[in-house]
Structure 1
C-alpha cells in the first residue's frame, strides 16, 4: 500500500491505555483482522469469513496486556487512536512485544517509531532489560519497522503456531547527567 500522508511524527502521541476500552478493542480487532486476512490470502487464496475472524479473535484475548505484568499502549495521530502495541512480562528481565498495529492509511508517517520508543519506556517501567517478539515472514512492514528501531533477529524463544522469525532488543539504561 502506498501512503501519501506526510511524515509528521510530531502529530503522534503514545500513552498507556486500558486494554478493555472500546477504543483499544477496536484497534485490536483491526489488528487481528489485518494479520489474519493476510494469512488467509497467502495460504488459502481468500479472505477469512467474519465467523472465522471473530472466532479467532475470541481465541486470542489480550487481557494479559494489563498490570501488573503487562501494558497496553495506544498511539494517537492528531488526537485520534490509530495504533497500538502490547507488552507482557516473560520473566524478571524480559518482556514480549505483541499486537503492534498502525492503521494502514497512516503507515509511514512516523507512528510506528513513536510507538516503539514508547514501548521501550514501558518495558523499562516493567523492569525489563530486553524485549523479544515473534512474527511471520509475510509481515514485511512490521519486520522492517523492528529492524529500523534496534531489533535484531534472535533464536526462537517460543513455538507459537504462527511464529516464523524472532527478534530481540537489549534496552540500555538511560544515564542521567550529573548536575
Structure 2
C-alpha cells in the first residue's frame, strides 16, 4: 500500500479550498447540533462575520490540511491575549478521518500558537462532538473552568505549550 503524505500549511481563510473546508466544518457541527442538514442559506449566515479574519498573524493562523495534495481538513489558532491561544475550527472531512492526519494537524497548530507567543492553548466545544473531545484529550488537553460563554459551549479544555 502506498504511503499517503499529509501537509499542513498556513492559508488565507478566503481561498477556495479554505472556504470549502470552513463550509464543511460548519455544516458538520451545525447539522449535528440541529439534528438535520444545514441549508446553504444557514451556512452562509453562520459564516458571515464569524471572526475568521483574525486567523492571520499576528492575531492568529489558519491551516489547511492536505492528504496527497487534496484539501481535507483545517484548523485555526486565535490569540486571546499575550500568552493564550484558542484552538478553533479543527476539522477533518469524514472520509479522511482515521488516516493519521488529526495528530499532525494538532501538532502543527500548537507550533503555530507557540510561534505567535502562546504558552497555553485553550478551547471550547460541545459534549456531542465526541470525536473532537477524544482528539483533544488524546493530545494532552484537560478539562478547565470556562474562560468564555456562548450558546454552543458545553466544555472547556486547556494545555500548557
1:157 paired residue number = 147
Paired residues in the alignment total 160
1:59 Cα offset (Å): 4.2
TM-score normalised according to structure 2 size? 0.94
The match for 2:19 is 25
Query: 1:38 maps to which residue?
Result: 32
Q: Please, which of 5, 8, 16 is the counterpart of residue 14 of structure 1? A: 8
Separation of aligned partners in 1, 2:51 and 2:143: 26
The aligned counterpart of 1:177 is none
Q: Per-residue CA shift, 1:53-96, capped at 9, x if unaligned?
A: 32122242411111211100111111111110011110101000
Q: Please report how far the alpha carbon of residue 48 of structure 1 lies from its aligned counterpart in structure 2 after TM superposition.
A: 2.9
CA distance in 1, matches of 2:53, 2:137: 27
Residue from 97, 102, 125 that aligns with 1:107: 97
**What is residue 88 of structure 1 aligned with on the other side?**
78
Q: Gaps spanning 5+ residues in structure 2: where?
A: none
TM-score by length of 1: 0.85
> Residues of 1 paired with 2:18 and 2:78: CA distance?
16
- CA distance in 1 between counterparts of 2:42 and 2:130 reads 24
The ranges of structure 1 where at least 4 consecutive aligned residues each deviate by more than 6 angstroms after the TM superposition are: none
Q: Can you list the C-alpha shifts for 1:128-178, whole angstroms capped at 9, x where unaligned? A: 00000000000010100011111111110000220100011101xxxxxxx
Superposition RMSD in Å: 1.4
Bigger Rg over Cα: 1
Specify the SS of the correspondent of 1:91.
coil
Unaligned runs of 5+ in 1: 1-5, 172-179
